Amino acid sequence: MSEKRCFYDVLGVARDASCDEIRRAYKREALKHHPDRNPGDSSAEGRFKLVNEAYQVLSDEEKRAVYDRFGHAGLDGSAGMGGGGIGDVFAHMQDLFSEMFSGGGPFGFAGRGVRRGGDLRVQVRLTLAEAAFGCKRELSVDAPAPCEECAGTGAARGTKPEQCSGCRGTGQVSNARGFVMFTAPCARCGGRGFVVRTPCKPCSGQGHVQKTRKVTVTFPAGIDVGQRLRVPGQGLVGANGSGDLYVEIDVEENSHFERDGVDLVTRVHVPFSLAALGGAIHVPTLDPPNGDPSAHRVEINLPPGTQSGHIVTIKGKGVQRLDGRGRGSLIVEVRVDVPTRLSARAKELLVELDRELGTDVVDSGVESRRVASK
């Protein structure tokens, strides 16, 4: 009798291979040596069984430790396939491949008919001040909730749900496609694992009714349009826990300020005389309400000869940063207003000012229009 091959060599992995490496190697070798892929090869079944035997040992921590220390002799036959036939091997493969197409993995349904509740999404519109400094809001969430009449079972009082005969209460059924088993929700019970013979009237046997509930959400200072908050456990109720509530943020436009990241932009209009002479002006700011109106304005000094489009930056008067590290700036754009209606006296004074400053217009067309306006 030939000596049994090393299980690590059978799977083509090193002795210090991780569990994930062993699992991937098993899938590769099992597909490679499957009898359906090797028609006419009488030894394919033997190689296929050896691959499964190696995996059953190396995927079990205790068996692997014994095998690493004593080899095949240490297993004493208990770790192998024993007297089982090829059907046992297929059953083992079914468990492994079902993870790819059903509950265990990222590709399918939440395992064995027991599902986590779905997520909910709502949109909330905040004012600029609420977004800048944070706030708390009580939101109304309209969503299914467990029926109080039947305690969420869907069965009328005095009755109870019955185990589904189609899936035997697992909520899933498996079908073979070639040599791979595919698992899907049971069509008879809809993946619930049970059927309701006498449905509850208030919920029509669904186990849930539409209800409006209140959820208090805290919005952090500095949140902006397009961002969203996750509120764990406030989504739809499921048999394996509730989903999450996602709150999408929108922010109202403000008549005084525009937001640019953590900065605020505002525009102030000043008369051209003040721009020419210079002087102090008071600029509105966005601040949390504290009962003191003066706290919502800041004084800035314009230099003589300020031009339209002049920018003044006031640090620390912008939006709170999300990470809490201070506030952005308030950017003030000065716009100089030129009067459109002038009295005769005002026109005379402006002409005199032009001459005093030495800014007479040489162009005859402009000069003629100025004289004609007297």
210 neighbors 146 (Cβ within 8 angstroms): no
The pLDDT value recorded for residue 367 is 44
Answer yes or no: is 26 within a domain.
yes
Do 15 and 90 share a domain, yes or no? yes
Answer yes or no: is 192 within a domain.
no
Is 175 in a helix, a strand, or coil?
strand
Q: How confident is the model at residue 20 (pLDDT cuts 50, 70, 90)?
A: confident
Least confident of 26-35, 107-116, 118-127, 141-150: 107-116
Query: Does 2 or 212 have the greater pLDDT score?
Result: 212
From the number of C-beta atoms within 10 Å of its C-beta (0-12, 13-18, 19+), residue 315 rates as exposed
Domain boundary residue among 101, 131, 150?
101
Q: Can you give the CATH number for the domain in which 329 is found?
A: 2.60.260.20
**Which domain range does residue 356 map to?**
343-374
Do 327 and 354 share a domain, yes or no? no
The pLDDT value recorded for residue 290 is 61
Q: How confident is the model at residue 136 (pLDDT cuts 50, 70, 90)?
A: very high
Least confident of 17-31, 102-116, 338-352, 353-367: 102-116
The pLDDT value recorded for residue 158 is 87
Using one digit for the tens of pLDDT, what is the confidence trace for 254-303? 989 999 999 999 999 999 899 999 999 999 999 876 655 566 889 999 99
The pLDDT value recorded for residue 68 is 84
Do 347 and 333 share a domain, yes or no? no
The token pair at 273 is 């005389």
Answer yes or no: is 122 within a domain.
no
Q: What is the mean pLDDT of residues 34-44?
A: 76
138 phi and psi, to 5 degrees?
-95, 115
Q: How confident is the model at residue 336 (pLDDT cuts 50, 70, 90)?
A: very high
Checking if the pLDDT of 235 tops 50, the result is: yes
Checking if the pLDDT of 229 tops 90, the result is: yes
Do 321 and 288 share a domain, yes or no? yes
Q: What is the mean pLDDT of residues 306-326?
A: 92
- Tell if the pTM clears 0.75, that is, is over it: no
Answer yes or no: is 272 within a domain.
yes
Give exposure, 85-108, as e/b (b: 16+ Cβ within 10 Å). Answer: eeeebeebbbebbbbebbbbeeeb
231 neighbors 111 (Cβ within 8 angstroms): no
Radius of gyration for the chain, computed over Cα atoms and rounded to the nearest angstrom:
39
The pLDDT value recorded for residue 170 is 82
Answer yes or no: is 130 within a domain.
no
Q: What is the mean pLDDT of residues 91-114?
A: 42
Domain boundary residue among 80, 101, 122?
101
Checking if the pLDDT of 315 tops 90, the result is: yes
Do 84 and 13 share a domain, yes or no? yes
Domain boundary residue among 101, 130, 163?
101
Q: What is the mean pLDDT of residues 28-44?
A: 78
Do 318 and 363 share a domain, yes or no? no
Do 268 and 352 share a domain, yes or no? no
Answer yes or no: is 168 within a domain.
no
Do 353 and 374 share a domain, yes or no? yes
The pLDDT value recorded for residue 177 is 66
What is the domain count for the chain? 3
The pLDDT value recorded for residue 194 is 85
Answer yes or no: is 157 within a domain.
no
Checking if the pLDDT of 244 tops 80, the result is: yes
Checking if the pLDDT of 110 tops 90, the result is: no
Checking if the pLDDT of 365 tops 50, the result is: no
Answer yes or no: is 112 within a domain.
no
Do 352 and 267 share a domain, yes or no? no
294 neighbors 230 (Cβ within 8 angstroms): no
Query: Does 32 or 298 have the greater pLDDT score?
Result: 298
Q: Where are the beta strands (DSSP E) in 220-345?
A: 228-231, 245-251, 258-260, 263-271, 279-284, 297-302, 311-320, 327-337
Give exposure, 277-290, as e/b (b: 16+ Cβ within 10 Å). Answer: eeeebebebbeeee
Do 11 and 86 share a domain, yes or no? yes
| Mean pLDDT over each residue of the chain, to the nearest integer | 80
The pLDDT value recorded for residue 86 is 42
Do 314 and 354 share a domain, yes or no? no
Q: Can you give the CATH number for the domain in which 81 is found?
A: 1.10.287.110
Do 327 and 370 share a domain, yes or no? no
Query: Does 101 or 32 have the greater pLDDT score?
Result: 32
